[in-house]
């Protein structure tokens, strides 16, 4: 067998080897268990794909289920790690703005002006934007991926399917666990869960997770490492069961990400270094950091009545995110070109639902939901002032940049494009000393939707601000 090189291929090779060993141990364990008892039976998989607890075999929907054990076996840290193991489903890894696809159907635009085709739900709560949908697997009971349109029961934006996160509920056992993982590039991953029965009717459960890893892509210009990771997550739930018919759960979750944006190739060190599409060296003039801060809370009430089950879900979620990306892949400031995306989102929703059955042949569901969302997105580009000056001279005026004085492009832009706007800088040469130049577009929207008995309505208002300048070198916008 060929020895893998110390490169991206080496990391991929070893990762696959570790997974194979893990699966082999699991297979031996299962075989030994079956030999030990001839009457072993398979545990029934319970899902909520139809807004009620049912066995997977009884659900007439194509559903892919990942249990806690399966997630641990795959060493999956978030929903992106399940992409390789889910047929007909595409979930990008390493992206804070994922674009989900099921059976080839999805929405490539993650902006607030477009709605996703795949609905994502956290314990029954709809997550309206992809920027707030990808969270760390912290005390997860299972993941359900539903193929095909789910609009009748799930409401808006489930034309291609739905993805459900289901977390563990507090219980009457006094238990807990802690697990730590160490790896290459000083990786440290620590997570734990603690469950406490406060009284015979009141139970509390909390989970915490911390993950950090240094970057593995070396920047030969700045000396920095790209592709580092740092995130932490906290979940907490309080459960009250005053009777066998009433179950109330109050949940809180917080997730924070602080890492650099996707590393880009450069003119010298690019794809193919070490083989394949992976690369571990680059030459760019800066490392851009992306962040996201997410908070959510929900109140779940379930009441068992004669012949029916009543469910109420009240929720509030919010997040803020910044996602810049390097687009030029080079160190020359005259060609610097970066883009950025920032979002500020908050939503609240209310759902009422009744479930029941008439004998073994008929099951029914009736209810309604209301969802309200306020979203703000700022997208734009970031250029070095020299790049803007050169762009105007060579593309608009049509002469070589070396034939004019520095700042000439700004003078032309002020005179032709922005003659009536106040200048930030007195001369073009002074504008070249600015740190950055940026142009942006703000898109804001209020979204309101409701679902009642399979009939859906959506109301929205969107606002688009004109192109403006955020402290750069041309004008006050």
Encode pLDDT of 394-414 as tens digits.
888 899 888 988 888 888 877
The better pLDDT of the pair 65, 263 is held by 65
Residue 152 lies in a domain: no
Residue 236 lies in a domain: yes
Find out whether 227 and 291 touch, Cβ atoms under 8 Å.
no
**Predicted local distance difference test score (pLDDT) of residue 5:** 36
Residue 405 lies in a domain: no
Summarize the confidence of residues 318-332 as an average pLDDT.
85
**pLDDT above 80: residue 178:** yes
- Using alpha carbons, select from 144, 140, 96 the residue that is nearest to residue 120: 144
Give the global pTM. 0.77
Which tokens hold the place of 422? 């106040």
Residue 9 lies in a domain: yes
Q: Same structural domain for residues 31 and 179? A: no
**Predicted local distance difference test score (pLDDT) of residue 447:** 60
Tens-digit pLDDT profile for residues 179-230:
999 999 999 999 999 999 999 999 999 999 999 999 988 888 888 888 899 9
Q: Same structural domain for residues 179 and 30? A: no
Tens-digit pLDDT profile for residues 134-147:
889 999 999 999 88
Angle at 136 (CA atoms; ends 92, 219), nearest 5 degrees: 60
Residue 70 lies in a domain: no
Structural domains counted in the chain: 2
Other CB atoms closer than 10 Å to residue 49's CB: what's the count? 23
At 446, which CATH number? 2.40.170.20
**Predicted local distance difference test score (pLDDT) of residue 452:** 59
**Predicted local distance difference test score (pLDDT) of residue 405:** 87
List the domain range (segments joined by +) for residue 2: 1-36
233: Cβ–Cβ under 8 A, 6 or more apart, which residues?
Answer: 135, 136, 138, 207, 208, 209, 253, 254, 255, 256
30: Cβ–Cβ under 8 A, 6 or more apart, which residues?
Answer: none
Residue 409 lies in a domain: no
Residue 346 lies in a domain: yes
**Predicted local distance difference test score (pLDDT) of residue 104:** 86
Residue 53 lies in a domain: no
Summarize the confidence of residues 357-381 as an average pLDDT.
85
The better pLDDT of the pair 284, 38 is held by 284
* 40 pLDDT tier (thresholds 50, 70, 90): very low
């Amino acid at each position: 067998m060929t020895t893998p090189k110390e490169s991206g291929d080496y990391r991929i090779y070893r990762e696959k080897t570790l997974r194979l060993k893990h699966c082999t141990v699991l297979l031996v364990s299962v075989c030994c268990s079956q030999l030990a008892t001839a009457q072993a039976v398979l545990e029934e998989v319970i899902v909520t794909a139809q807004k009620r607890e049912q066995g997977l075999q009884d659900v007439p929907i194509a559903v892919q289920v990942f249990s806690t054990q399966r997630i641990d076996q795959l060493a999956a840290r978030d929903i992106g790690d399940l992409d390789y193991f889910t047929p007909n489903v595409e979930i990008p890894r390493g992206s804070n703005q994922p674009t989900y696809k099921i059976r080839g159907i999805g929405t490539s635009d993650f902006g607030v002006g477009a709605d996703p085709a795949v609905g994502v739900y956290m314990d029954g709560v709809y997550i309206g934007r992809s920027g707030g949908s990808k969270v760390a697997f912290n005390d997860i009971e299972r993941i359900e991926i539903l193929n095909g349109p789910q609009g009748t029961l799930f409401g808006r934006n489930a034309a291609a399917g739905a993805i459900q996160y289901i977390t563990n509920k507090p219980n009457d056992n006094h238990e807990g666990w802690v697990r730590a993982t160490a790896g290459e590039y000083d990786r440290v991953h620590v997570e734990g869960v603690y469950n406490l029965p406060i009284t015979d009717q009141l139970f509390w459960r909390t989970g915490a997770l911390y993950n950090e890893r240094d970057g593995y892509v070396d920047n030969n210009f700045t000396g920095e490492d790209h592709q580092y990771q740092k995130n932490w997550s906290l979940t907490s739930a309080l459960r009250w069961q005053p009777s066998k018919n009433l179950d109330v759960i109050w949940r809180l979750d917080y997730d924070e990400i602080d890492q650099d944006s996707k590393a880009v190739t450069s003119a010298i060190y690019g794809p193919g270094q070490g083989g394949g599409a992976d690369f571990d060296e680059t030459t760019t003039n800066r490392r851009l950091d992306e962040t996201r801060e997410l908070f959510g809370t929900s109140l779940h009430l379930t009441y068992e009545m004669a012949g029916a089950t009543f469910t109420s879900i009240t929720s509030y979620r919010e997040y803020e995110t910044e996602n810049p990306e390097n687009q030029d892949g080079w160190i020359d400031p005259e060609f610097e070109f970066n883009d950025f995306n920032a979002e500020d989102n908050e939503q609240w929703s209310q759902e009422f639902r009744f479930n029941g059955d008439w004998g073994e042949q008929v099951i029914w569901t009736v209810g309604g939901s209301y969802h309200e969302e306020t979203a703000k997105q700022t997208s734009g580009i970031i250029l070095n002032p020299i790049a803007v000056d050169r762009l105007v001279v060579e593309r608009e005026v049509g002469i070589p940049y070396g034939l004019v004085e520095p700042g000439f492009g700004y003078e032309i832009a002020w005179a032709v494009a922005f003659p009536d706007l106040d200048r930030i800088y007195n001369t073009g040469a002074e504008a070249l000393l600015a740190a950055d130049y940026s142009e942006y577009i703000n898109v804001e929207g209020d979204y309101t939707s409701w679902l009642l008995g399979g009939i859906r309505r959506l109301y929205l208002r969107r606002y688009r601000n004109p192109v403006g300048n955020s402290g750069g070198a041309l004008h006050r916008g």
